[in-house]
């Protein structure tokens, strides 16, 4: 064996060393420390909602809300859902739930009736904090469709046939429906007893207790509740923020949604643990509002999935904004195009921008580029291993492959979830000896830099949002004319990927793509409705009967001339 061979045979295993220990504490007590250190520094700014709170003001509201939750009868370990776009109330709910020891269930605001019903029932949510409406999303309308009892039952005494565990609906803004209580009224319910109870909880809650459930479909169809502790997400937010050298002098413009770990962990908890300010440009993503917000608030960091940065850079008014306050930020969630990274560094002044790689099940971040990595490394890799985290790359037998060889990325350490809520078997499938099998294909080079080269699972990432073909297939199977259906991703120059469905109709039936789309509308989130719907007689299959989605993808991309961008 030559010297070079021996060198390249170093195993693909990396372990993050750091002089900085993990935070061994709860989210609530970490908030106390931040308030003690930075009481009068800005904590949360959301102009659209008229909010500009210091850490002292934010903490006072969080405490009042947490005591209010206790007054409603919510108890440690109870699940409380939040179903809203980015608003200050979302963050108050996140921090107050953690303070009171409640498990926050983050519900995707794009969910529609059947998805909401599934999520709330799966984890037995006792309370739901919900927005009233935003643009075309009528949250209260959908909720009362699902639970008409909300128009009749008294607040706190809801007994809905389809949502049997839900007692409290806490409504943000709007005219409160009879069975709901307004968000603002919750704090007023608390008395001395609840405040004393809260102080006691603050002293006794343990950082290994679950505090958050986030829904993901992972490697298989139906959404699973990723169960995460204080320790998981607080530390991940902290080390992600530290990698950008965030301090109390930084202001993070958080454009990604709060319901996802990008917003709530890498945004909110990085801010909470380091004293930086959270700045929300708007409820849903809007490139113009984001640019305006960065310029007006003089943000120093900006977060987004690649498509958000593309929309900002390509905005016709881009040149009108002074972005000179920006220094750093994060691009993550999907493969990050090299060209876009270069433009972000040069045109948005984000010279210390980082790329993060991770998944919800690992809190999420496990790789991140460093602010002083070379530009070349920063645009073409997802950086190096995070502090206190281990990663190995394995072949299909579970054996570690040599550096530079592609294999499945597996993660171990403080950041790995407790498991999927009430799904021990599905948890065992992905969590082996403490290692989380990510389903992503990656390589690690000799210097420890990681490249994500593909996905074992057939998940589709459209504009940074994960879409799971099997979940959509399962829904389409319900169409009476559909015999069989396969959903897969095809390249798209704007969103990275788009969904395509191949449908086999039942014998003698006819349908148009519009019929199929109409069946989906209002039932599943609009992003899950396939952009391309084609009718076929058969699917390409192997001799052993395995459907070959990659052939379908090639066929569609070739016929329609579809291409994605070059990525890191």
Chain residues binding ligand AMP by CB under 6 A are 216, 261, 332-336, 355, 357, 359-360, 364, 382, 438, 440, 452, 455, 466
The smaller minimum CB distance to ligand AMP, of residues 333 and 387, is found at 333
The smaller minimum CB distance to ligand AMP, of residues 51 and 450, is found at 450
Residue 367 CB, nearest approach to ligand AMP (Å): 8
Residue 443 CB, nearest approach to ligand AMP (Å): 13
Q: What are the structure tokens assigned to 364, written together?
A: 């999420």
The smaller minimum CB distance to ligand AMP, of residues 440 and 458, is found at 440
Residue 335 CB, nearest approach to ligand AMP (Å): 4
The smaller minimum CB distance to ligand AMP, of residues 19 and 396, is found at 396
Nearest one of 280, 336, 278 to 54, comparing CA atoms: 278
- Indicate the SS3 state at residue 248: coil
CA distances (Å), origin 64, targets 84, 185, 477:
20, 11, 47
Residue 215 CB, nearest approach to ligand AMP (Å): 10
- Residue whose entry in the numeric block shows the structure tokens 């952009």: 531
The smaller minimum CB distance to ligand AMP, of residues 74 and 255, is found at 255
Residue 410 CB, nearest approach to ligand AMP (Å): 12
The smaller minimum CB distance to ligand AMP, of residues 171 and 232, is found at 232
The smaller minimum CB distance to ligand AMP, of residues 436 and 485, is found at 436
Using CA atoms, how far apart are residues 308 and 337, in angstroms rounded to an integer? Answer: 12
Residue 334 CB, nearest approach to ligand AMP (Å): 5
The smaller minimum CB distance to ligand AMP, of residues 62 and 452, is found at 452
Residue 216 CB, nearest approach to ligand AMP (Å): 5
Residue 493 CB, nearest approach to ligand AMP (Å): 17
How far apart are the two ends of the chain, measured CA to CA in Å?
32
Supply the DSSP symbol for 434. Answer: T
Listing DSSP states for 350-404 in one string gives -TEEEEEEE-GGGSSEEEE--TTS-HHHHHHS--EEPTTEEEEEE-TTSPBPBTT
Residue 224 CB, nearest approach to ligand AMP (Å): 11
Q: Is the Cα dihedral 64, 171, 466, 438 positive or negative?
A: positive
The smaller minimum CB distance to ligand AMP, of residues 354 and 486, is found at 354
The smaller minimum CB distance to ligand AMP, of residues 42 and 364, is found at 364
Residue 449 CB, nearest approach to ligand AMP (Å): 13
Residue 436 CB, nearest approach to ligand AMP (Å): 10
Listing DSSP states for 6-55 in one string gives HHHTSBSEEE---SSPPP-S-HHHHHHHHHHHHTTSEEEEEGGGTEEEEH
Strands 277-279 and 301-304: what pairing? unpaired
Strands 168-172 and 103-106: what pairing? unpaired
The smaller minimum CB distance to ligand AMP, of residues 168 and 357, is found at 357
Other Cβ atoms less than 10 A from the Cβ of 546: the count is 9
Q: How many contiguous H segments (helices) and E segments (strands) does the chain have?
A: 19, 28
Q: What does the radius of gyration of the chain's CA atoms come to, in whole angstroms? A: 24
The H-or-E segment that residue 70 falls in is helix 55-71
Burial (CB count within 10 angstroms: exposed 0-12, middle 13-18, buried 19+), residue 543? exposed
- Indicate the SS3 state at residue 417: coil
One-letter-per-residue 3-state SS of 172-218 = ECCCCCCCEEEHHHHHHCCCHHHHHHHHHHHHHCCCCCEEEEEEECC
């Amino acid at each position: 064996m030559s010297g070079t061979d021996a060198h390249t045979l170093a195993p693909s295993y990396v372990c993050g060393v750091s002089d900085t220990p993990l935070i061994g504490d709860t989210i609530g007590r970490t908030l106390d420390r931040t308030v003690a250190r930075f009481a009068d520094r800005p904590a949360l700014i959301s102009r659209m909602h008229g909010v500009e709170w210091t850490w002292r003001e934010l903490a006072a509201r969080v405490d009042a809300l947490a005591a209010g939750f206790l007054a409603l009868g919510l108890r440690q370990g109870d699940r409380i859902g939040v179903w809203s776009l980015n608003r200050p109330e979302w963050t108050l709910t996140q921090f107050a739930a953690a303070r009171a020891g409640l498990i926050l269930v983050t519900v995707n605001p794009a969910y529609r009736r059947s998805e909401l019903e599934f999520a709330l029932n799966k984890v037995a949510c006792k309370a739901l904090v919900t927005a009233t409406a935003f643009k075309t999303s009528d949250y209260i309308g959908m909720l009362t469709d699902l639970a008409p009892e909300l128009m009749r039952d008294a607040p706190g005494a809801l007994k809905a046939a389809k949502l049997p565990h839900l007692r409290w609906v806490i409504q943000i803004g709007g005219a409160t429906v009879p069975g709901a209580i307004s968000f603002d009224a919750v704090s007023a319910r608390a008395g001395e007893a609840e405040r004393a109870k809260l102080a006691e909880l603050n002293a006794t809650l343990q950082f290994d207790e679950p505090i958050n459930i986030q829904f993901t479909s992972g490697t298989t169809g139906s959404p699973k509740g990723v169960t995460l502790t204080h320790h998981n997400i607080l530390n991940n937010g902290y080390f992600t923020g530290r990698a950008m050298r965030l301090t109390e002098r930084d202001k993070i413009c958080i454009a990604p949604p709060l319901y996802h770990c990008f917003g709530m962990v890498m945004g909110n908890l990085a801010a909470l643990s380091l004293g930086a300010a959270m700045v929300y440009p708007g409820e849903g993503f809007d490139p113009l509002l984001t640019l305006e917000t960065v310029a007006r608030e003089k943000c120093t960091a900006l977060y987004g999935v690649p498509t958000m940065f593309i929309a900002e850079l390509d905005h016709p008014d881009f040149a009108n904004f002074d972005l000179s306050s920006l220094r750093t930020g994060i691009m993550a969630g999907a493969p990050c195009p090299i060209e876009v990274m270069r433009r972000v560094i040069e045109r948005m002044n984000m010279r210390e921008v980082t790329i993060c790689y991770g998944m919800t099940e690992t809190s999420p971040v496990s790789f991140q580029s460093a602010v002083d990595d070379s530009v070349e490394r920063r645009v073409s890799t997802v950086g190096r291993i995070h502090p206190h985290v281990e990663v190995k790359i394995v072949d299909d037998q579970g054996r570690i492959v040599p550096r530079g060889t592609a294999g499945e990325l597996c993660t171990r350490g403080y950041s790995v979830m407790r498991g999927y809520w009430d799904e021990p078997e599905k948890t065992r499938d992905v969590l082996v000896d403490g290692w989380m099998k990510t389903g992503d294909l990656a390589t690690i080079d000799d210097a420890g830099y990681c490249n994500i080269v593909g996905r074992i699972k057939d998940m589709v990432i459209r504009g940074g949002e994960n879409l799971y073909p099997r979940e959509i297939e399962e829904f389409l199977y319900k169409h009476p004319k559909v015999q069989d259906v396969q959903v897969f991703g095809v390249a798209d120059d704007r969103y990275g990927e788009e969904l395509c469905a191949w449908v086999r109709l039942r014998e003698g039936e006819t349908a148009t793509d519009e019929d199929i789309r109409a069946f989906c509308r209002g039932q599943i989130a609009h992003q899950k409705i396939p952009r391309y719907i084609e009718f076929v007689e058969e699917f390409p299959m192997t001799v052993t009967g395995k459907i070959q989605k990659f052939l379908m993808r090639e066929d569609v991309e070739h016929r329609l001339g579809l291409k994605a961008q070059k990525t890191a």
